[in-house]
Amino acid sequence: QIRGMACSAGLGRPPPSVITIEYDPDDIETFIKVADAIEEAFPTVVVNGNEAQDGRPGSFEIQTDDGISIYSRLSVDPALPHADDIISRITNRSQLPTSADRANQPFCQ
């Protein structure tokens, strides 16, 4: 028996508690701008970043504590994100897939 996830999985998710950003050490200024914008837009959200020397080269990965990828420079977009775009994606995160949803994506087509 094949079982798939509903394409609307995740609607109505509560706001994230923690957002983690992994960034390339060369992009610390962008990290600060994005983290400040997130904390201003969502005062109850804690933004964590890697130690400046620990980020992978070329990375700017933003993920919520419940496994939702908000942005991935390594796998999706080679450009650095704009803070407004990240705020919009967090606001509309109920439409973004979780890691589990992505694993079941073929069933949603």
pLDDT score of 7: 41
Residue 4 has pLDDT above 70, yes or no: no
According to the model, what pLDDT value does residue 95 have? 76
Query: Cβ atoms within 10 A of the Cβ of 19, count?
Result: 24
Q: Are 101 and 7 in contact (CB under 8 A)?
A: no
Tokens of residue 66, six digits: 């419940």
- The model carries a pTM of 0.75
8 Å CB contact between 51 and 25:
no
* 67-96: average pLDDT: 90
Return the pLDDT at 13.
67
